[in-house]
Structure 1
């Protein structure tokens, strides 16, 4: 992902495309999902990780409970509706404050979607006991653990994540199933694979691990579109909504934001979505109020390939 190259004239002006057409933008419609990125450190280094997480990449540092609490307070002031909270990384279970962060979110009654690879960080005794304690205390009813897999095929998965990664993830999934935690899967659909075939294969894997999920349900099995290195997607113009029969309200940045903290930054900040953490044009302020004041201009290749054309969204 990091070596993606595009002609310099495309995606270079916030309002006008390279063809001189009006660039599409997405207005804020109200908060559906607030994401917290707990940092880019991860126990593995996936070959196609869009955010380049690894055991050494700490350009986004761990969030602390103190970073998270002001945003939970702001949600209560700004939104009268139920809000989904998402936690992503990196690998969230490496974050030192992950258990108190989860507890604070669930204690306030929010639904919580936590993205994990279900590998060694989650399987440490302290983390396992912490998850079980949340359940014993009645705080896990609105918790879903979404486990990412690069493929339902062991060889393809390990080619992305390293030898043994598939079996280690399966071990974590079996534990979650045995303990009765709600689990969803997030997989990649190969460019050469039919969606129905992919869902059937992931469903067979889930059943073999004891997971109770419906692979036909896009919330229980999320299949993300591939974002191809050196792809050259078209720029999205205001005319594209009608041509594609899509609405700006269906795009992730209409109702989602993500909280990050950069290495060396004095405080956390808010980005337009979960994908674009390295482009300063998509870092929108330090508060939700600041970060939702103006429409988001779709001035990045992934706005086209993942969201508008790919139909991707990270929330449940």
Structure 2
């Protein structure tokens, strides 16, 4: 599966890592404060969303299951490189479909890292073995494990429009179990619905209050609202002059503080990517080691502008 470097609405743009279509110097971002290392657990998912950022589905195994041993090898590299990592994060696909999810989380927690797992809180998470593992880890490492639940909208109607009929009820059931078990939760929502941020946060706040979920809807780290990644919309390229024009620091962009490890189908070893949103764009693959991944990243994709620089979004807490 490949991702186009220049969608039709952006023909002529995002071609040259050094220059924009107008010939201006393209903005680059250095890894100035690595604090989150992401692992994609595999692109297989129990559902297929209408607009999944990385096209996860029950049949997409372009990124295969990563293993505990492979995760541990990168945890060793963090120490060797003296990266000031605070958080190890897992995304998918649906992470709880990976049979080694609990073991991978335990390996990170045991080394003193906070662990964030992105999940839809549906049936894969609710299998007895996963429930037992989550409860065990939450008890053994209190406050260090957080599950960020994908709740695309605070209403059942719009959430199910994205994820399929019955998805909302299954997710709420999973969240109720997590709340009863005492596992810290966060929410990941979307801003595609034509409502203001205040309206969205009020809606999520009411949802959490109704079910007794201890999630602060007003806190952007606890209730993360992501912009939609519509590649049919034209977006501007980010030049070096944009930092001053927009009054934004390069250090605030996600690739200044994080990298993601994936394992491609058929690959001999995992690879390190610049961004969690671009697993299929070869120009954002930085090598197989953290040492190779320390180089600067050219903001040479529409997502760089739409999601990170102009949208101000980050997958990390």
Same fold per superposition (TM over 0.5): yes
Matching of residues 149-298 of structure 1 within 5 Å: 149-292=151-294, 294-298=295-299
**Are residue 104 (structure 1) and residue 107 (structure 2) matched?**
yes
Say which SS state the counterpart of residue 288 (structure 1) adopts.
coil
Say which SS state the counterpart of residue 120 (structure 1) adopts.
coil
User: Post-superposition shift, 1:153?
Assistant: 1.3
Say which SS state the counterpart of residue 121 (structure 1) adopts.
coil
**Are residue 84 (structure 1) and residue 110 (structure 2) matched?**
no
Structure 2: gaps spanning 5 or more residues = none
What do residues 63-121 of structure 1 show as CA deviations (whole Å, max 9, x unaligned)? 01121111100111222635211100000000011111011010111000110000000
* Equivalent position of 1:70 in the other structure: 73
Say which SS state the counterpart of residue 125 (structure 2) adopts.
helix
Could you state the TM-score of these two structures normalised by the residue count of structure 2? 0.96
User: Post-superposition shift, 1:15?
Assistant: 0.6
User: Post-superposition shift, 1:306?
Assistant: 0.3
Structure 1 pair 2–25 and aligned structure 2 pair: CA distance change class (3 A): closer
* Equivalent position of 1:27 in the other structure: 30
Q: RMSD in angstroms over aligned alpha carbons?
A: 1.4
* Equivalent position of 1:95 in the other structure: 98
* Equivalent position of 1:41 in the other structure: 44
Q: How many residues align?
A: 314
Say which SS state the counterpart of residue 115 (structure 1) adopts.
strand
* Equivalent position of 2:311 in the other structure: 310
Question: What is the alpha-carbon distance in structure 2 between the residues aligned to residue 80 and residue 228 of structure 1?
Answer: 34
What do residues 156-199 of structure 1 show as CA deviations (whole Å, max 9, x unaligned)? 11111110000000000111111111000010123521111100
Say which SS state the counterpart of residue 135 (structure 2) adopts.
helix
* 1-10 or 71-80: bigger deviation: 1-10
Structure 1: gaps spanning 5 or more residues = none
Runs ≥4 in structure 1, deviation > 3 angstroms? Answer: 1-4
* 127-136 or 264-273: bigger deviation: 127-136
* Equivalent position of 2:121 in the other structure: 118
Question: What is the alpha-carbon distance in structure 1 between the residues aligned to residue 22 and residue 315 of structure 2?
Answer: 30
User: Post-superposition shift, 1:135?
Assistant: 2.9
Question: What is the alpha-carbon distance in structure 2 between the residues aligned to residue 57 and residue 201 of structure 1?
Answer: 33
User: Post-superposition shift, 1:139?
Assistant: 2.4
